[in-house]
Chain A
Amino acid sequence: MFSFILFVLLFTGQQDQIKIKDAWIRPGAQDMNTAMYFTIKNNGSVTDTLYAVKSKLAQKTEVHETYSKDGMMGMRKAELVVIKPKSSFEFKPGGHHIMLIKLNKDLKSGNEGEITLFFKKTGEVKVKAKVKKPDIKKGS
């Protein structure tokens, strides 16, 4: 019985290790690209790594990062995102974003979209988000 409880605790602990907060998607037109943002919280005691992402919203979904070079701005694919225990990682405008390449349909304010994140430890995590204009307050 004890080991069963322990198993349940460990199992649910594992499930709760990664939490996704404040997800939103920038509006985008069909065949164009747009970005999704959120905060990944690692409540667990071990490091976890985001290594892949999938969605039916676009022809291709990738993890990207915005960078600056010679005073200009660009963006590129980012391979792995490591989230240390008891810390969070923010996907935000001007930084990391989920890049939705060639949207299958218009994503307008008020629409909803879902993507799946793949973590090495936690496994699959589905993320639902509303399409909306960026928050005025956040300066994005």
Chain B
Amino acid sequence: MIITKNKVRIFAMAAILTLSLYSCKPKLPVEMDLSREEFVLINQDSVEVTIPEILKNKISLAGYIFTHCPDICPMTTHNMYRVQKKLTSEEDILFVVISFDPDRDTPSVLKKYAELRDYDLNSWQLLTGKKEEINKLLDNVGVTAIAADSSFTESGELNYYFLHTDRISLVDKEAKVRKNYKGSTADINEIINDIKSLE
């Protein structure tokens, strides 16, 4: 059989096409493993929950916020809400909101935050807890929150705001973080495609 230049060219083109199709398929590496340590937290209904337990057997989106934040943090949770609205009903995703301000974000404050924004508490968990436990978790995932700017109200109450990491994480069914996004400006379609690539 005579191998013509043309045949070589066709073969090469086919090979390139196959390779590029293969590499188009997103492959998300494991960024962090949350299954190795236990974090005991409290949800919006004052029920004790543990990570990684609640993250197992379900794909989750986790966002880090403080509810006194009027701008960035509600954008982050609103992006999670938009993902939920855009997903089809067959997809069973858990939405986890973790507060880095446990002093002020009590379960009832978190519950009200969710209710006011129509977050469906069947699929959302808003978590707070003991400061040590929250800090341990934040250290683990590399989320930083530093009390920064503050002001006093007329009645003399201190209002402080955090300088904080702006993040949504995609967590797989084995409690492994597979991708981190900038929470307030995340691309909804990117998150949805990544969720689908894990299913």
Contacts and interface: CB of A to CB of B under 8 A. Distances in A.
Nearest to B157: A102
B154 interface: yes
Contacts of B149: 74-77
Interface of B: 67-72, 74-75, 78, 82, 85, 109, 112-113, 116-118, 144, 146, 148-149, 151, 153-155, 157, 159, 161-166, 184-185
B4 to A, nearest CB: 53
Looking at chain A, what size class is its interface with the partner chain? 35 or more
**Which of B68, B71, B112 has most chain A Cβ within 10 Å?**
B71
A32 B109 contact: yes
Nearest to B154: A59
Interface of chain B: mostly helix, strand, loop or mixed: mixed
Interface of A: 26-29, 32-35, 59-60, 62, 64, 66, 69-77, 93-94, 97, 99-102, 106, 108, 133-134, 136, 139-140
A36 to B, nearest CB: 9
Contact of A26 (B70, B109, B162): B70
A132 B138 CA distance: 31
Contact of A94 (B109, B144, B165, B185): B185
B72 A73 contact: yes
A106 B72 contact: no
Contacts of B71: 35, 64, 66, 75, 93-94, 97
Contacts of B78: 133-134, 140
Contacts of A133: 78, 117-118
